[in-house]
Each structure stands twice: as C-alpha cells, then as structure tokens.
Amino acid sequence: MATADDISPPPLPPSPPPGPSRRAALLIGLGGGLVMLALMGVAALVSLTKGPDAVMSVGGPFNLLDGDGKPVTEKTFRGKFMLVYFGYTFCPDVCPTTLNQVAEAIDRLGPKADRVVPVFITVDPKRDTPAVMKEFAAAFSPRMIGLTGSADEIGKAARAYRVYFAERRTGPGANDYTMDHSSILYLMGPDGRFLAPIRAEETGEQIAAALGRFVR
Ligand SMILES: [Cu+2]
C-alpha cells in the first residue's frame, strides 16, 4: 500500500491485560481503523494523481517555526523546490526510514541539491519542540529543515497537504501515545505549486530519480 502505512504493531496496554472480549473489541477496533486508514491513503493518492484540479489543491499557506523558533511560512522557500514530509520524531520506524531515503536522495542530486529543501513537519507538536526538531532533522541531513508550531497551525498545514494524523493512546501516561499519519512525500515547485507526490517507500535512488525529473 502506498500510503498511510505508518502504523506500528498494535501497542497493548502494559497492565492489566484485557480480557478476551475486550481484546477482541480492541482488535476489531484497530482492524477497522487500519482499513479506514488504508482506504483514506488510497483515496488521497488517487485524488493527488487525478488531474490538474486535484493537483492545484495540495499545499497552501502555513505558519510554522523552524529549529530556532523563527517563523517559517510557505513563502520562506520560494525559488526552491520543497520536498515536504509530515511525521514525528518519536516515530518508531517509518519516519526515520523515509527521512534516511530523502537524505540519500538529496546527496545523490549533487550540485542540484542546492535547489531542493527537504522539509519535515511534525504532527506531534506536543513533544516535537523547535529544539527537538532541529536536532532530529540535522541527524539526517544538514539540509533538512524541521518545522513545528502550535497544534492549530500544524492542523492547518496538515489539512492543506491532505495529511491525515491522529493520536493513538498506548497507556495512561502523558507520553504514552503514538501518532498515526499518512506517509507521502510532496514535491512543491519553486513557485510553491504542487508538482508530484512521491511514495515514501521509495529508495533514495528512486526519490532522486523522481526529483531529477523536475529539478534540472
Ligand atoms: Cu512516522
């Protein structure tokens, strides 16, 4: 499946273990959620690739903060391509894997990499402060920009990019949660317009090839 695959194995509450009926209900609930998430992902990708009208409606204004807490908007990177990905730093595997491939793709672009800004936007602003985002993004590539912001602004940015995300509780503690989120890379042109979705499962080589079709 191309999208919405950032779903870690169902985290079970540490204690007490749910009884058979509760466990069944939990599994059915999770299964339904997974199916719905998968369907939403497919629908999102279909609408992304349908035609010029759908293409026009991805992306838009946002008001976020960079790793130093400075305001960043969609206009900040005008003149450069933006490769946008939504996720969160506590993500167990999908986000780190994807960002690794993005970093590799950027390296493979050589001198053309100057024209592309990889942007990682958190869907978990509660934990992903500017400082957390800065360190996390830098761990993948010195070129990568990590963005966070208020829950409200993150929600607006995600809606503009048609990104689905939701908190999934894993326990009673304040930090006992993961984030489900759709997982697509969005290539935006130097004029801010959406150019193409890129599957997050692609290798660095494939992502570089996809970028190379636009970044000349
Ligand atoms: Cu993730």
| pLDDT value of residue 216 | 87
Break the chain into its structural domains and give their ranges: 17-51, 58-212
| pLDDT value of residue 48 | 52
Q: How far is the CA of 33 from the centre of ligand 1 (A)?
A: 16
| Sign, Cα dihedral of 124, 167, 17, 33 | negative
In this model, does residue 5 exceed pLDDT 50? no
- How far lies 60's CA from each of 5, 89, 155, 161, in Å? 24, 23, 12, 7
Closest CA to 215 of 97, 140, 110: 110
Mean pLDDT for 133-142 is: 98
Q: How far is the CA of 61 from the centre of ligand 1 (A)?
A: 23
pLDDT higher at 213 or 52? 213
Residues near ligand 1 ion, CB 5 Å cutoff = 6, 87, 91, 94-95
In this model, does residue 16 exceed pLDDT 50? no
In this model, does residue 20 exceed pLDDT 50? no
Across the chain, mean pLDDT equals 84
Contact 183, 3 (CB under 8 A): yes
| pTM metric for this prediction | 0.77
| pLDDT value of residue 124 | 98
Q: How far is the CA of 4 from the centre of ligand 1 (A)?
A: 9
In this model, does residue 18 exceed pLDDT 70? no
Sheet arrangement for strand 145-147: 145-147, 116-122, 81-87, 184-188, 194-199
| pLDDT value of residue 57 | 84
In this model, does residue 81 exceed pLDDT 50? yes
Dihedral of the alpha carbons of 28, 123, 47, 94, in degrees to the nearest 10: -70
Q: How far is the CA of 19 from the centre of ligand 1 (A)?
A: 30
In this model, does residue 95 exceed pLDDT 90? yes
Q: How far is the CA of 41 from the centre of ligand 1 (A)?
A: 14
Mean pLDDT for 172-189 is: 96
Q: How far is the CA of 208 from the centre of ligand 1 (A)?
A: 21
Name residue 119's amino acid. Answer: V
In this model, does residue 4 exceed pLDDT 50? no
Name the architecture of domain 58-212: 3-Layer(aba) Sandwich (3.40)
| pLDDT value of residue 183 | 96
Q: How far is the CA of 154 from the centre of ligand 1 (A)?
A: 15
